[in-house]
Chains A and B, each alone.
Chain A
Amino acid sequence: MKKFFYILCVLLLINCQKEIEFDLPDVEQTFVLEAVVESGLPPRVIVTNTQGYFDPLDSNSFLNMFVDNAMVELHDGDTTFELVYSFVNSNGVILPGYTSFDPEIIGQYGKNYTLHVQVGDKEAHAKAQIPHPVILDSLWFFAYEAYDSLGFIWAKFTDPDTVGNCYRWFAQRINSYTYNYDPPFDNVKGTMKDNRPLAPIGSSTDDKLFNGLSFDFAVPRGEDGILEGPDDQGPERGFYKRGDTVLVKSTTTTYPTYLYVRAMENQAVSNGSIFSSPGNLPYNVEGDGLGVFIGYGVSYDTLICE
């Protein structure tokens, strides 16, 4: 009888899945800006092209997506700087992009920035601001009993009593793996766990729920986008581990950035989900291209998970 019930449940819950193909027409591609100004760092602007959704992604198409002939100008309210095509440091990862080595353009709190980009006869522009940072009150690690040494980072935070503050959380495990995992991660021992600060899904918020309040909150561990790490599957997924040293990068940002990050993360987890409607992201780049221009006011803290 138990077997019968089991079969019944399987029948009820079963969902048949199969791969299907769509015959999409050729669609005109456009350029995309990803521009960031961040307190204490030079600006970085990565210009790429869109690709057909179902086109394969390989090393050739990856290299071909970068746009190297754009004219990029950044105005900081006083001076206009022309950014050069070089390599940019995106949170510790070196990528082809546009930047400036002029120390005058290092990101500063409270400044407003205007970006202008021209690719061939197409132009785009966008605005961003670096808000003043809000420092976390304290950080600690709490391991779940059922999971032995795994847990989340907790923080105590006091939001300033002014509405409209927006935040984004990043964290990077700067300690190394002490053992190898199953292939293809059988050679990670001794390498730094995260090679840049990572934002978990739900990393950004505004303060409409907690304006002026002081409260505790827990944050799971983020993943590096679609790049899967050794501990991004299995029981360790989403958890920090006792012994981790974590560099917490807490940032303040603007409302348009919060809206963009929220939609981008939602898209990442719900491509095709019945609980959401397909929608393009709320880009803040205007003109011919797509993309986003973000400002972060950054503060750092370090936590040893004990």
Chain B
Amino acid sequence: MKFLPTLLLTFLYCLGYGQQYTLSGYVKDASSGEGLIGVSVFVEELGQGTTTNVYGFYSLTLNQGSYKVKYSYVGYKDFFEDAILNTNVRKNIDLSESDDLLQEVVVEAEQSDENTKGTQMGKIDLNIDKIKTIPAFMGEVDVLKTIQFLPGVQSGGEGNTGFYVRGGGPDQNLILLDEATVYNASHLFGFFSVFNADAIKNVSLTKGGMPANYGGRLASVLDITMKDGNYKSFHADGGIGLIASRLTLQGPIKEDTASFILSGRRTYIDVLTRPLIPDTSAFSGSGYFFYDLTAKLNWRLSDKDRLFLSGYFGRDVFTFNNADLDFTFNVPWGNSTASLRWNHLFNDRLFVNTSAVFTDYNFAFEGGSSGFTFRLSSGIRDGNLKQDFTYYPNSLHNVKFGWNYTLHRFIPSSLGASSGDVEFDTGEDVKIFGNEAAIYLLDEWDVSENFKINAGFRLSMYQHVGPFTRYYKNPNSGVTDSTTVYGDFESVKTYYGPEPRLSARYLLKDNSSFKFGIAHNYQYIHLASISSVSLPTDLWFPSTELVKPQIGTQYSMGYFKNFFDNKYEGSVEVYYKDLQNLIEYKENSFPEDNLSNNVDNQLTFGRGYSYGAEFFLKKRVGDFNGWVGYTWSKTMRQFDEIDDGGWFPAKYDRRHDLSVVLQYQLSERVNIGGVFIYATGNSLTLPERRWFSLEENRLITVWSDRNAYRLDPYHRMDLSVTVDAKSTKKQVDKDSGKVNMVKKKVISSWNFSVYNLYNRANPYFIFFDYSGDPLQGSVEFGANQVSLFPILPSITWNFKF
């Protein structure tokens, strides 16, 4: 093992061959000082270049000489710099916004030919400012909803938390907010995401070949970077909507050295409904609200060191009260995250980010009636340390390596209950501790002018450690036959996961390219759901000796082409994904079964596969722009204990999925956005037979095979109009009497949205009922579809100063 570091250093040294010098620095927004992510730094005479990383840093090592370097970024004016490389050069660049900023489309805040030239398949960056003109539910701008308009990314439908990528479950998406894992990214059962768009700088989704610096999930990475805060001057942004308002404050603590951003949001459904529920009502005090708070501080400690401290805190709170029956319950849930990051430049070619991250997610259900009280809760808490190195040996290689350690603490289920003075024996809180660690190395290598690869390897490890009690249950009596007790830090089970990753691009002559990718991933945590849709009640559960790590292998390839001078881009991607060690609750499992028991005793294990083809056509620029995405896919599951081991469609198996997103800049101040989506109906288990229990006088349902039927297709059209108020006003010069146009201090806009324009009744769930009177001897049985929102107009006023 001691040869490994030597081998690594030799490898890195060999990459940095020849008499070469390095051009490096940070690229920032000229007006705010914010670092810009993904800026193209390109030397045209060599046809070589690089892009800035998530902190805005770039490094380009070239042979000695003079070069004209072009810095370009979507929405910003190109910047040219003459660089004389006879020594290492540090050059920080400030880019100014382009005048025709509004001409760019929402997706891909990166260079115009990245579609064909990048090696990474299925990676999409969102332009956060432009998301704001897409129609949004109740006018609340939502990054999670926007990515669901992309091919290969599916929504579970209204009222479902999470999203589904290429046949993967919602737990298989790694959602990072400033490198902190967010376990539940939705408010109000999935109607809103927890991310306040005003505080977000960049959103990047990787759904194809995941590079080796990411791990721990099988399907995708949604990497969200918060704004740093304006280093130059104080600003405020906000919006007042029908059900929620938000406010963001940002500014310098010390100009060009330290900045802050603070952003908050709260719904006022509870406040609005309160006048409708009189104090005398038995239900007085019932209500729902959510809020979130995002904060970030940054210091540029020196030319080589930067420090970032960021955090998120959000809660949903649902309260029900019935005073007459002395019955009340309270359901709070939410995430908290904190990230402390330190950027350090060892030299012009070696960049390192060191992070300490804390993540916490909790769900609780507490209530009581007539002296009986109970509290059910579950949660997950992570402490994470990591270092990510980026080494730029020369312009042909971009090497990343690093390590990552996470201490997990899961509380799958905790219950307390009492009746009067008697405390029920709910057993000890089951806490599960796990060590998760990984090391990785990857190289993005320009093998030739046309051929580029991104090859990497990640070695991950998960260790379930004590304290832990394993319960062995008698299946006939439910009684604990025996237990095995593990002490503090005692190893219960250890897994290792070798994860090779490879993606490659071959550039063809006609501004098109062919790409392929293979990714083999391990995932050591799982989400188990008792309900038929994804809810905050879903349980995060780690690998144990019974629950093996989920393993996913994805093979994908695609053809990418840009047309008409990169104004249009298109792609066709196909993929096949194999999934092992998936989990489901056994039939007839109930939350109370977790008491004095291990949750994994209620689980059953299986496998799955998914394959599909994704088609994407986008008009990138112009007054009229947008995209069309279509996915054909098939996703199946197999569990030995479900349907006698037969294959069945996954609940989010969807044969057809079409999204059309269009925007039209009607005038300088008026933008019209429209969205249409169509998706095959969700799979569904139906009652096929019934029998009448005469002992109970109840109709007993005999269900079909799992997910053997389909709901009606889901389709919907939304429309929005954004009208910017005039940004200038007339001002008369007192001395000359001349009328000047001056910029207003407050810039505002109105957003009018209509959700579900043609009032489609999309299925949310189905329930089964009968009509008639059993005593009269005639009963008819039927199925009823419940739909959520009908046509729903909304209006939001956004402001900035």
A→B interface (CB under 8 Å): 2, 5-6, 8-9, 11-12, 14-22, 24, 27, 29, 32, 34, 36, 46, 48-59, 62, 65, 90-91, 93, 95, 97, 142, 144, 146-147, 152, 163-164, 184, 199, 206, 208-211, 213-218, 224-227, 255-256, 258-259, 262-264, 266-268, 271-282, 290, 294
Contact = CB atoms under 8 A, between A and B. Distances in A.
B478 A164 contact: yes
Contacts of A11: 789-790, 792
B701 A267 contact: yes
B531 A274 contact: yes
Contacts of B370: 142, 152, 218
A272 B700 contact: no
B686 A22 contact: yes
Nearest to A49: B691
B689 interface: yes
Nearest to B697: A225
B245 interface: no
Interface residues of B, number: 90
Contact of B276 (A9, A93, A224, A267): A9
Contacts of A281: 588, 700
23 contacts: A8-B272, A11-B789, A12-B269, A15-B788, A17-B787, A20-B785, A22-B783, A29-B689, A46-B694, A46-B695, A54-B783, A56-B778, A57-B774, A90-B694, A216-B420, A216-B422, A264-B693, A272-B768, A273-B765, A277-B531, A280-B702, A281-B588, A294-B695
Interface of B: 159, 242-243, 269, 272-273, 275-276, 282, 323-326, 370-372, 417, 419-420, 422, 424-427, 476-480, 529-533, 535, 537, 585, 587-588, 590, 592, 595-596, 685-703, 709, 712, 761, 764-770, 773-775, 777-790, 792
A144 B325 contact: yes
B477 A14 contact: no
Contacts of B371: 216
A276 B530 CA distance: 6
Contact of B698 (A57, A268, A277): A268
A12 B276 CA distance: 14
Nearest to A62: B777
Given A48-B692, A209-B424, A216-B420, A271 B701 contact: yes
A111 B595 CA distance: 30
B698 A226 contact: yes
B140 to A, nearest CB: 13
A218 to B, nearest CB: 6
Given A6-B276, A211-B425, A280-B703, A52 B779 contact: no
A262 to B, nearest CB: 7
Contacts of B425: 208-211, 213
A264 B696 contact: yes
A5 B276 contact: yes
Given A5-B275, A256-B476, A273-B765, 5 more contacts: A18-B784, A48-B691, A208-B425, A272-B767, A278-B687
A54 B276 CA distance: 41
Contacts of B773: 184
B694 A14 contact: no
A163 B479 contact: yes
Contacts of B242: 8
Given A213-B425, A226-B698, A264-B696, A16 B786 contact: yes
Contacts of B786: 15-17
A277 B709 contact: no
A5 to B, nearest CB: 5
Contact of A272 (B592, B697, B766): B766
B698 to A, nearest CB: 4
